[in-house]
Structure 1
Amino acid sequence: MTTHEREGERPPLGRSLLESEAMTSDWAPTYEAVPRSAFLPVLIWPHDMETGRSVAVSKASDPATWQEYADSNVPIVTQWDDGEHSGMEPGDESTSSASMPSVVFSMLHDLDVQPGSRVLEVGTGTGWNAALLAHRLGSVNVVTVEVDEAVAASARAALERFGLRAKVVHGDGFRGHPEGAPYDRVIATCGLRSIPFAWVEQTRPGGVIVAPWGTHFSHQDAVARLVVSPDGEQASGLFTGPVEFMKLRSQRRPPVVHAEYVPGRVADGDETSTKITEEEFVREKFDAHRFALGLRVPDCCQVVAYKRDGARPVWFYGLSDRSWACAMFRDGAEARVWQGGPRRLWDEVEEAHRWWVGHGEPDHSRFGLTVTSDGHQAWLDKPSDRWPLTAA
């Protein structure tokens, strides 16, 4: 029995999750019974959402701080650089983590499990999410797939220690796990740029797929809640809100090499201007603007540079060719634009921006996604008004 149970109180974070409606009351007993701390390693790197930095905390040397972070609504990095990292300092790229509890329970709410539901999870991580599902549904009904062998082994051991022996599979979650199909629910705990049709095939008609999804336009994701059609030929549904997850390893985008797009001077590109202002265009991280542009301008990534001396360049790079564009926003002046390559990327971006504004600046929850064996289509408000997510 925990201290909070003895005192007849919910843990403070539990109360906060309920009050903010990130966690629904039906998940509260599971939250109290399955602490995140039971699935964290001795050395963790809690992520500061304000600064974007992670600092090492060791349970061995500072157990109080370690426990405080374990019980806080912050994401915690548990692996760097696909396991090639060592030491206390953060590595170059975070590659496994324990997500924010508010995000975990919000996605579990979207999953809408029912008694006896069979669930496939893609991205085991620490094993905490699988443990929560196993506590709610029974271990026999939960299969979780992890691509990293060491991470899978650690999660399996943590689940066994806790007495919730969900099936942990070391493998490529992009394939799902056909041996255990069909599933009533599929949930991914990694960011996707393509939802495999294999997941649709392995889900019962009427079943639900919950996955963080986005385009290569930015790192931003939104949680897609898709329902498999009665004939099993597609899965379709609305997004429930913005998130940002580590990407499925096979879908990470290689870094853009600027010199491969702009080998000479920017001024060598075709020059125009735009009346769109920096304030209109460069928005907060989780604003729907960037997500919407990614849906309307396929095969393109955006890089927003730091502002210096009153000027901020925003770059766009084609991912299927070497098209590029740069919009230079400058205080007190109309923005100048340069473009090069087969596509006129800024023209496409500006058209997408005006489309978004013209439709009332819709947030994530008005957008939807349909997945078929032929690919992905996005839509606004109505699935019938959908468009393909590939460049013409």
Structure 2
Amino acid sequence: MADEIDVETVAADLRRRLARQLATDGRLHSPQWRAAVEAVPRHAFLPHFYRESDAPGVTTWEPVMPETTGKAKWLGLVYSDETWVTQFNGHDIDWADPQPISNATPTSSSTMPSLVVRMLEDLGVQDGMKVLEIGTGTGYSTALLCHRLGSGSVTSIETDDGVARRARQALTGSGHFPDVLVGDGRVGHADGAPYDRLIATCGFRGIPPFWLEQVRPGGVIVTTLRGWMRSLGLVKLIVTDESASGWFSDGDPSFMIARQQDAPTSLGMLPGLDDGTARKAAYGPEILSRSGPAFMAQLAAPDARFFSTAIDGGPVSTFVLDSITQSFAVLAPTESGWQVRQGGTRRLWDAIESAAATWEEHGSPSTGAFGVTVSRDQQTVWLGNPNGPQWALSS
């Protein structure tokens, strides 16, 4: 049969090809990490997964596995620079009879290799360093760390017991034996502290205070900060005596939010048609989805979410709802632009418009112009320098 291939031989060739492409694209620089990409068998961590269907309509994911997709196609997908979903809604998948999945939220995945190696290179590890990884997932990035530093230098925390069990099995099968623990990554692992480096492969609303205690002064934290509306981006922080500061990276990488920080199920009470006070809006709802302004909106309204819908057959309006303070903003189209109605203890749209205007006044900078300073008591994102415009992070 055409698909009777030597999986290990083909996979080794595909790993070298992937490493070469990442290097050519400027995403892989270190010879040590290139050696790790060429050595670690990603297919051992992705024996099956889901990819998004390109069919129109409701978003649907289709299973990919060598038994049904074919070994050659499966391997080709495994070693492409893509993120592949391995779990939905926190439930294990019956891989004896996998079915297409719709109306579901991905809750575990194997992140695209270019982003994985970008974060690992940002970590700046050296021989002999101890690393704490938050979010084991499939275990692929854990294996890269083990290849680079040795299994004894790596501790990884996964919140899902089933995900952790499968990662341990894949790691062991690949010859790596790090400590893989099940728990809340926000707490870290004090018994193994201090760590030289900490890397998180899920998004957090702020930097957990335990991380500041467990990473030694001069150590590095690399993680993604995000909110309930969108990702803020990748940050690299240098720790100094239970505080830390650093910068966002350019670009817009995003990870699933840590499960312990999922948004509340309820959006809160929808405002009535006459609730709040109205004014002409300086910006319409499009700023909630444009990269730069949306970054600012997330900073300005860290506890908010939004959606658009038509009410009672009227025009489509956009609702911005803060489920913590029960504040709201409703944007509705008019003949001359947009009108906003606001209510509650926070004027959400005032804050969002102010943040967007500040961004424009400073030349519409990329995320790389923003920095972060965190301590146990306060966490702040700033523009330009620590004395510039500031926005508080949620914890």
Is TM-score (shorter-chain normalized) higher than 0.5?
yes
Deviations 1:82-122 (A, max 9, x none): 12554422262211110011111111111111111110001
When residues 47 and 167 of structure 1 are mapped into structure 2, their CA distance, relative to the original with a 3 A threshold, is: farther
- Does the alignment pair 1:250 with 2:260? yes
Residue 343 of structure 1: CA displacement?
A: 2.4
From 15, 40, 47, give the equivalent of 1:34.
40
Contact persistence 1:38–1:162 (CA under 8 A): yes
Q: How many Å apart are 1:291 and its aligned residue?
A: 1.4
Matched letter for residue 331 of structure 2: A
Does structure 2 retain, via aligned residues, the 8 Å contact 1:49–1:74?
no
Q: Deviations over 1:215-272 (max 9, x none)?
A: 33x132411111001xx130111011322211111111123436x132x32x443222
Q: 1:232-271, aligned counterparts within 5 Å?
A: 232-240=241-249, 241-257=251-267, 260-262=269-271, 264-265=272-273, 267-271=274-278
Aligned to 2:369: 366
Cα gap change, 1:2 to 1:315, in 2 (>3 Å): same
C-alpha change, 1:17 and 1:304, in structure 2 (3 Å) is farther
Give the C-alpha shift of residue 148 in structure 1.
1.0
| 1:335 is aligned to 2:341 | no
Q: 2:128 aligns with which of 116, 119, 136?
A: 116
Distance 1:379 1:143, change over 3 A: same
Range that drifts further, 370-379 or 129-138: 370-379
Contact 2:381 2:390 (8 Å CA) reproduced: yes
Is 1:389 the counterpart of 2:392? The answer is: yes
The 3-state SS of whatever aligns with 1:227 is strand
Confirm or deny: 8 A CA contact 1:191 1:221 kept in the other structure: no
Local SS of the residue matching 1:129: helix
Does the CA contact (< 8 Å) of 2:267 and 2:305 recur in 1?
A: no
Q: Which amino acid aligns with 1:235?
A: A
Question: Kindly, what percent of the aligned residue pairs are identical?
Answer: 37
Secondary structure of the 1:314 match is: strand
Q: Residue 14 in 1 paired to residue 19 in 2?
A: yes
2:202–2:258 CA contact under 8 A, matched in 1:
yes
What amino acid does structure 2 have at the position aligned with 1:71? Y
The residue aligned with 2:82 is 74
Instruction: Work out whether 1:317 is the aligned partner of 2:338.
Output: no
- TM-fit CA distance, 1:342: 2.8
- CA distance in 1: counterparts of 2:234 and 2:322, whole angstroms: 25
CA distance in 2, matches of 1:219, 1:362: 18
Say if 2:348 is the partner of 1:345: yes
Answering whether residue 44 of structure 2 is matched by residue 44 of structure 1, we say no
Shift of 1:277: 5.0
**AA aligned opposite 1:361:** S
Query: Could you tell me whether the CA contact under 8 Å between 1:47 and 1:74 is conserved in 2?
Result: no
Deviation at 1:388, TM superposition (A): 5.1
TM superposition shift of 1:37: 1.0
* Partner residue in 2 for 1:190: 202
Q: Is 1:147–1:170's contact at 8 Å kept on the other side of the alignment?
A: yes
1:31-71 C-alpha deviation (Å, 9 max, x unpaired): 11113112113x31024799865321122222222212101
Distance 1:130 1:341 in 2: 45
How far apart are the structure 2 equivalents of 1:119 and 1:271?
52
Name the CA distance, whole Å, in 2 between partners of 1:353 and 1:311. 25
Correspondent of 2:65 among 38, 58, 61: 58
Q: Is the 8 A contact 2:299 2:393 kept in 1?
A: no
Instruction: Go from structure 1 to structure 2 and tell me whether the alpha carbon gap of 1:354 and 1:327 turns closer, same or farther (over 3 Å shift).
Output: same
**Partner SS, residue 327 of structure 1:** strand
* Structure 2 match to 1:102: 114
Matched residue of 2:61: which SS?
A: coil
Relative to the length of structure 2, the TM-score reads 0.87
1:235 to 1:275, Cα distance in 2 relative to 1, 3 A: closer
Alpha-carbon spacing, 1:298–1:4, altered in 2? closer, same or farther (3 Å): closer
Per-residue CA deviation, residues 176-220 of structure 1 (Å, 9 max, x unaligned), is: 01111111000001111122111111111110000111233x132
Gaps of 5+ in 2: 1-7
1:23 and 1:106 in contact (8 A); partners too: yes
Range with bigger deviation, 136-145 or 350-359: 350-359
User: Could you list the per-position Cα deviations for residues 350-386 of structure 1 after superposition, in whole angstroms to 9, with x for gaps in the alignment?
Assistant: 1121111111112111111112110311111212336
Deviations 1:287-310 (A, max 9, x none): 12211222233433333569xx99
Q: 1:213 to 1:112 in 2, by over 3 A?
A: same
CA distance in 2, matches of 1:194, 1:298: 10
Assess, with a 3 A threshold, how the Cα gap between structure 1 residues 282 and 81 changes in structure 2: closer, same or farther: closer
TM (normalized to structure 1)?
Answer: 0.88
Deviates more, 1:336-345 or 1:80-89: 80-89
Matches within 5 A, 1:106-185: 106-185=118-197
Alpha-carbon offset, residue 136 of structure 1: 0.6
Structure 1 segments unaligned to the other structure (5+ residues): none
Question: In structure 2, what is the Cα distance between the partners aligned to 1:319 and 1:169?
Answer: 33
Local SS of the residue matching 2:100: coil
